[in-house]
Amino acid sequence: MSEALIEVIAGGIGNSIQDEGRFGFRHMGITVSGCLDPLLSRCANALLGNAPDCACIEIRAVGPTLRVKRGCVRLALAGEIGAKLRRIDGTLREMSAWTSFTLDSQEVLEIATLPDGGSAYLAVSGGIDSPLQLGSRSTYQRAVMGGIDGKPIVTGNLLPCATQRHRQYRECQAAAWSQGEGPIRVVLGPQVDHFTPEAVRQFLASEYRVTPQTDRMGMRLEGVQLAHASAQAADIVSDGVTPGAIQVPGNGQPIILLVDCQTVGGYPKIATVIGADLPRLGQLKPGECIRFAAVSGAEARQALLVREAQWRAWANRIVAYMSDGPSLDDDLSDAWIASDWS
C-alpha cells in the first residue's frame, strides 16, 4: 500500500492523535496518555479491521474538517457524533457514526461538534501513521511528545495513513457500543485511612457533579465535602498516582485523575476507579451526576473480564454491507475478516 495523506483544513478544538498509550516511562515522569475512552477507539478501529492499538483522532469538542490530499482512505467514527461528507462531485452526505466509509482524493469530511463534552473517535484504515515517540503515537502536550510535533490537531497538519488500492464499496457497520450504567466502581485507597469513616460513608452514598474544570489531566467534582482525618492528613509526601485515582485536596472536593495526569501527587487518594469503568470517565459531561460504589480487587477483576466479553460480543456483530455506487470492481473473494478481536 502506498501512502495516503489527509490534510487538516480546520483543526477544530480539543482534537488529538491518541493510541492505547505510552508505557514503561512513568519513572521518568512521563504519563501514559492515550485515549480517554479506549473502548470507543477500539470500536472505531474494529469497524475498519484495524488492530486495537492503531492511532486515531480523539474528538473532545469541535471536530476537525479533513480533506484527502492524496490516495483513498477508509474511515470510521465511534461516539455520539456525525459528519458531513463532501464528495468530489459536490454532493453532500450526512454520515453517522458506527459505519465505515471511504473517501477518494480531494473529498472532504466535516466532523461535527460534541456540544456537551465526552469523547468520540475517528479511526483511519491502518491507523494514522504519525511518528512513534517512546513507543506510542499518543499526543502528550506537556512533554511536547507524540501526535504531530507534540501538539493537538491544528489547521494545516498532514496526517499520513495507508491508502486503499481502489475505492471500496463494501463497508462495515455495527450497533452503537454502549457503556455500562450504574455507579462508577472503585477500590478504596490507597489513602482511605486519611479520611474520617463518615467521609468514606458520604463518598459512597452521595452524588457528585462533574464540573467544567475537566481536561485530559483530571476531572474536578463537586458535592458533599469530604473531611480528612486531621489537618495533616490532607497532605502526603507525594507517591505514585494513576488515571482513575480520586484525590481529595484540603477543600474536600474530589478530583479524578485522567490519562494525562502527573505520575506522582501529594494529595491523599480516597479511592481509585477500577479498570472496567475507566473508559466511562471519558464520556462524563460537565453537569452530569455520578455515584461511586466500592468493590474488592476480585470483583474488579471479574468486572473487567465481563466488560471484555461484552466488547467482544459487540465486535462479533459487526457486519459488512454494500454501500451506494457501482460494485463492478469490488473484489468479494477478499472476504472481510473480523481480524483478531478474540
Q: How far is the CB of 40 from other proteins (least distance, A)?
A: 19
244 binds other proteins (CB under 8 A): yes
Q: Which is nearer to other proteins, 76 or 300 (CB)?
A: 300
Q: Which residues contact 309 (CB under 8 A, 6 or more apart)?
A: none
Q: How far is the CB of 300 from other proteins (least distance, A)?
A: 4
Tell me the CA distances in angstroms from 27 to 30, 88, 111, 264, one per residue in order: 7, 50, 37, 10
Q: How far is the CB of 194 from other proteins (least distance, A)?
A: 10
Residue list 8-37, contact with other proteins (CB under 8 A): 23-30, 32
Q: What cell numbers appear for 302 in the block?
A: 471479574
Give the closest residue to 87 by CA, choosing from 63, 71, 67. Answer: 67
The interface region with other proteins, picked from 12-20, 40-48, 60-68, 260-268 by CB under 8 A, is 260-268
Helical segments of the chain, H only:
38-46, 197-205, 278-281, 297-316
Q: Do residues 41 and 66 make contact, with C-beta atoms less than 8 angstroms apart?
A: no
Q: Which is nearer to other proteins, 133 or 173 (CB)?
A: 133
Q: How far is the CB of 161 from other proteins (least distance, A)?
A: 23
Among 69, 84, 86, 301, binds other proteins (CB under 8 A): 301
- What is the C-alpha separation between 296 and 293, in angstroms, rounded? 10
Q: How far is the CB of 235 from other proteins (least distance, A)?
A: 11
> How would you classify the pairing of strands 218-222 and 264-265?
unpaired
- What is the C-alpha separation between 138 and 174, in angstroms, rounded? 26
Among 189, 223, 249, 286, binds other proteins (CB under 8 A): 189
Instruction: Write out 92-159 in H/E/C secondary structure.
Output: EEEEECCEEEEECCCCEEEECECCCCCCEEEEECCCECCCCECCECCCEHHHCECCECCECCCCCCEE
Torsion of CA 228, 232, 237, 241, to 10 degrees: 10
Q: Which is nearer to other proteins, 190 or 252 (CB)?
A: 190
Number of residues that bind other proteins (CB under 8 A): 46
Among 88, 264, 319, 332, binds other proteins (CB under 8 A): 264
304 binds other proteins (CB under 8 A): yes
Residue list 116-175, contact with other proteins (CB under 8 A): 133-134, 142-145, 150
The residue ranges that bind other proteins (CB under 8 A) are 23-30, 32, 133-134, 142-145, 150, 186-191, 236-242, 244-245, 262-264, 269, 272-275, 297-298, 300-301, 304-305, 308
